[in-house]
Amino acid sequence: MTAQITMYSTPWCGYCKRLKGQLERAGIAYTEVDIEQRPEAAEYVMAVNNGNQTVPTVTFPDGSAMTNPSLAQVQAKLAAAAA
């Protein structure tokens, strides 16, 4: 399965760990980007979060982003995109 979404995270983020586990259990493929290792990724996260490095930030194939979404929000977004 190819990754449909990208999740920007940090290794110490509890919300990131929770969402990763939920995505894996739901069978949703994702690409993870550690914003502490990739300065350009941190800049992107700040750009979509009013200057804040808030993670998890998830981007979708249509270019939209969600900050700290629930699994249900991710599933709804992906379902709407597939429709």
Domains in the chain: ranges and CATH: 5-82 (3.40.30.10)
Is 72 a residue whose pLDDT tops 60? yes
CA distances from 50 to 54, 56, 71, 74 (A): 9, 14, 23, 21
12-71 pLDDT, tens per residue? 999 999 999 999 999 999 999 999 999 999 999 999 999 999 999 999 999 999 999 999
